[in-house]
Structure 1
Amino acid sequence: MTMENLSRTTASGHTSDGSDEPLVSKSHTIETSSVVVNMDTLPRNGHCKHDSEPVEITETFGQFLTYCSETANKCKSSIQHRFKDAIFIASIIAYSVYIVFVIAYEATVSFWTVVDVVAVVLIVIYKFWGISNVVGHITTPLRALRKRHCVVSPKRQILAGRFFTAFLFVALGVYLVADLYDEPERLIPLGGLILFLVLMFVTSTAPTKVQWRAVLWGLLIQFIMGIIILRWPPGYKVCKLMGDGVAKFLSFTDFGSKFVFGEKTYTMHVVVFKILPVVVYFSAVVSILYYLGVMQFIIKGLAKLFEFTMNTTPVESFATAAHIFIGQVVSTVALKPFLRDLTLSELNAVMTSGFATVAGTVIAAYIEFGVPAEHVITASFMSAPAALAVSKLNWPETEVPTGEAKDVYVNLNVGNEHNIMEAASAGALTAIKLISYVTVNLIAFISLLAFVDYSLSFMGSRVGHPEFTFQFLCSYTFMPLALVMGVRWQDCGKVAELIGKKIFINEFLSFADLGTMIKNDEINDRSIVIATYILCGFGSIAAMGINLGAFTAADSSRRQDYAKGMLRAMVGGNVACFMTACVAGILYQGNPFENMAELNPNVTALFNSTSLNGTSLTPDIFNQSSLFNSSLAIGAT
């Protein structure tokens, strides 16, 4: 091949004339000189070999820079992690020193000192080891010893559990007999509790399949919580301090309202300028607690309690515990992966617990209406086990559940926020939907209620009864229901109106009316407490449509199942609230410190800072000096 042929060589390795001569190094004689051509040096893209050498050097240098960058990022991340740990440890040490100085300065604040110490210990354990890991190190050896020396057959374990349940019920019965002996009128709500249980059993979808363990333990947990809160003075003290603390915490919303709406004008309209901003503030706080993992820890703990005591499935237990803090619409996001595989009984339990409890953000608004904070908070907690009991009584399990606990709890993640500021902002923005929901519903339903009242009054005036209104109708329709829950007969009509508004309109308007009744001293303290437990739930007809839309949006494949069980779940949620009100009616005797004060005069002074008197921590929304006047204070006759 000559140089002329070489110039016609193609990139495919063939000559231009079609020969298959390979491109190898050959000697060619051109006149008198011999030229050696190394074909490997001829690049395929038309450049020389030496042009590719800088590319290889660049790639090697780039890889070196990438390695250095990754190493620097790892070092930076490690340093940041260590720095955060150092700040955390320094903060814990500083707070521990502060606690020591507090004890040295004021030894009488032992209760809050214990709370501080316990909180610090739990935070340290949660940060570095994890609560479950520490508990596992303690329980694992105990389980090993039990398996080695205390081998109990499953049959005996079941018998022991039944014996323990029967023992608790006998003890509860003896306590109630001794407690109600001098006040037989408190037997009325006990009869109402039995009546609700019988009604749920009669209307059950499968009475022979009822899981009585869930029903009985649901009642036991209710009574245990009720005794601790309503009858045990230390328990009432803790709950009262917690309620006053929440009320004080929510009062800081006024600073934001004053800045936005004006210091002199922010109270001109209570709902818009004072109540709804509380929802924004508390929603931001809840979002921060989710970012820190506090809410997940509490929800998981309550779910484990329900699952262990009531033998409910992980999904049912998780949903019920979550509904205490978040609404049913929000919970469908976390439950979305499991909705398709839920049995009808599990689905009913999930929906019933949503109707029986209220979200934490709405609880904040109810407290601002002037309702007793401690009872608003505990009502949602007490209604949660009642919701599981009612659901398992009214729609027993006839299928085989498939959910696993680890999958359910893992789905309750911390969130995608990068810091506390972003979490607070995200929580505040989330409240926009809730505020718009509350606002448009109040406008719509109050307007419709006014129209219905006018129509009924007009029809009644034509026969000589212009007082015939929606409230008048509800006061007579639900009066027996209020009576069997322990409401004083003189107040049954007014409480019945609240029940009617809760079911047919919404609970927000009912709590607003209850706050007005408290301000005007229209009902006594016992009726106030029972009404608070009655109204603490999303059990309205309007909520049915909202929840149906939320569940359908989460998983539309079970739309018919949602629609089929929605009415039954709404009724069951209301019945759970009514059962909680019955328990409150059985156990409530006024202020448990009243009798203690007779034995120890120092008790009154000790708890004076947290009593519901003129120095209440929560500013009244009706421009009064306190939530309750002196005649409505806890313990007044």
Structure 2
Amino acid sequence: MNFVFLLTGLALVFLIGWLISSDRKHIRFASIGRLFVLQLIISFICLNTSGGIKALKGISGFFNWLMQQAAGGVDFVFGGLMIKPGGSVFFLNVLMPIVFISALVGILNYIKVLPFIIKWTGWAINKVSEMGELESYFAVSTAILGQPEVFLTVKEQIPKLTEQRLYTICASAMSAVSAAMLASYMKMVPGKFVVVAVFLNILSALIISCIVNPYVPQKNDQLVQVKKGNQEPFFQVLGNYIIDGFQLAITVGAMLIGFVALVTFLNNTFLALINVSFTELIGYIFAPIAFLMGVPQQDIVKAGSLMATKLITNEFVAMGTLHGMAAGLSAKANAIISAYLVSFANFGTVGIITGSIKSISAKQGGYVAKFSLKLLLGATLASILTGTIVGMYF
């Protein structure tokens, strides 16, 4: 039965991708096949072998340990506001640690660890996918550095990119999540699904681009390097990353206040008018998609509601909702929806990406604005593909 739902999920992704494809005659089936096989290998090792499960547990444990270290700085500043285990102040316990994780990312970038990982992982992915060195580099770097910062690493290339190549890197930016966010995600959904989704999403974005936006990359592409952090003094770089992390936490917090309040308003309004909440209503709309992904029938409305919530608001709102209802969902539904939620595919991110590109090149920003809805749909298909693959093992 799991294999059947794998096929239905894949069929759904391919059908929608084919319908919106810019060049249906030249869909890159060979690259899709190689990338999909790599996804199956990664997911099998991570979720179905003792070594992989142990490794995921270790990674999750490491990020939990980082959150504990971050609590030292948060507690120093906010004092007695830190809540004991069992309680929760979302801003302090989930968002403020982003500042510490961002600082670590800055240090690893400064001492050339991240550039090394990005360069050679991108090189390996390009050998498998033949998508182009720039595209493969960007798919990896956006999963580590996040956006909008990642666009600065290719700002010299962005004005020269064709619309097709621009679509691919923007789709990767929407499908990935930054390393600074991982520990915060793991406070709301099981860490193993966060880690697996990060790996799979890199490949899912490239697969969708092979369907929606097929093209043959230029042979003379040069692999782009991450900007050298140590061109500036160490503590200046570290301070910049800390400030960036704090601004990110504040931005996410502000968005959560607005979006959660808006969803609450809509739920109460719909309940008063038609005795059905807004989230339940949109859950019915997305329920068929959840079913084709493999979500058990009794959970498809709740899963569909979470999928729609993420699309309309953001992944934090949906993860917070999932955290409260996870006990009432089956293990398979939890696995699928947890993996699905680990990406930036939502309406707000479209605006962030468009603004980031426009700040570098007004012309290219106009192109991104033109295909923004297609970009959002492609990134959502990548999340569906990732969730479908994860669900096969439960």
Matched, 1:273 2:88: no
Matched, 1:216 2:33: yes
Distance 2:385 2:2 in 1: 17
Partner residue of 1:416 out of 192, 215, 231? 231
Q: How does 1:187-586 map to 2 (within 5 A)?
A: 187-263=4-80, 265-266=82-83, 270-369=89-188, 371-397=189-215, 401=218, 404-406=221-223, 408-409=224-225, 411-419=226-234, 421-460=235-274, 466=275, 468-518=276-326, 521-586=327-392
Listed one character per residue, the Cα deviations across residues 10-55 of structure 1 (whole Å, up to 9, x for unaligned) are: xxxxxxxxxxxxxxxxxxxxxxxxxxxxxxxxxxxxxxxxxxxxxx
1:69 corresponds in structure 2 to none
Change (3 A) 1:358 1:477: same
Listed one character per residue, the Cα deviations across residues 485-543 of structure 1 (whole Å, up to 9, x for unaligned) are: 1112222222111101100111111111122223xx22132222211111011111111
Note the residue ranges of structure 2 that are not aligned, 5 or more in a row: none
Distance 1:309 1:323 in 2: 19
Q: How does 1:5-154 map to 2 (within 5 A)?
A: none
Listed one character per residue, the Cα deviations across residues 105-137 of structure 1 (whole Å, up to 9, x for unaligned) are: xxxxxxxxxxxxxxxxxxxxxxxxxxxxxxxxx
Note the residue ranges of structure 1 that are not aligned, 5 or more in a row: 1-183, 461-465, 590-637
Q: Secondary structure at the residue paired with 1:527?
A: helix
Q: Secondary structure at the residue paired with 1:262?
A: helix
Distance 1:404 1:576 in 2: 25
Q: Is the CA contact 2:340–2:386 (under 8 Å) kept in the aligned structure 1? A: yes
Q: Is the CA contact 2:229–2:237 (under 8 Å) kept in the aligned structure 1? A: no
1:402 deviation in Å?
7.5
Q: Which structure would you say has the larger Rg?
A: 1
Distance 2:58 2:343 in 1: 23
Distance 2:52 2:107 in 1: 28
CA RMSD of the aligned region, Å?
A: 1.9
The residue type paired with residue 571 of structure 1 is: L
Change (3 A) 1:544 1:560: same
Q: Is the CA contact 2:303–2:337 (under 8 Å) kept in the aligned structure 1? A: yes
Distance 2:112 2:331 in 1: 38
Q: Is the CA contact 1:327–1:354 (under 8 Å) kept in the aligned structure 2? A: yes
Q: Secondary structure at the residue paired with 1:336?
A: coil
Distance 1:453 1:266 in 2: 29
The residue type paired with residue 214 of structure 2 is: P
Distance 1:334 1:264 in 2: 38
Give the TM-score normalised by the residue count of structure 2.
0.94
Q: Is the CA contact 1:283–1:430 (under 8 Å) kept in the aligned structure 2? A: yes
Q: Is the CA contact 1:186–1:486 (under 8 Å) kept in the aligned structure 2? A: no
Q: Is the CA contact 1:283–1:431 (under 8 Å) kept in the aligned structure 2? A: yes
Distance 2:211 2:265 in 1: 39
Q: Secondary structure at the residue paired with 2:154?
A: helix
The residue type paired with residue 51 of structure 2 is: P
1:365 deviation in Å?
1.0
1:270 deviation in Å?
1.6
Q: Is the CA contact 1:341–1:403 (under 8 Å) kept in the aligned structure 2? A: no
1:454 deviation in Å?
3.0
1:253 deviation in Å?
1.6
The residue type paired with residue 362 of structure 1 is: M
1:269 deviation in Å?
5.2
Distance 1:191 1:269 in 2: 39
Number of matched residues?
392
1:555 deviation in Å?
1.2
- Compare relative contact order (CA 8 Å, sep 6+) and give the higher one, 1 or 2: 2
Write 1 or 2 for the structure with the bigger share of helix.
2
Q: Is the CA contact 1:345–1:392 (under 8 Å) kept in the aligned structure 2? A: no
Q: Is the CA contact 1:291–1:415 (under 8 Å) kept in the aligned structure 2? A: yes
Distance 1:271 1:497 in 2: 22
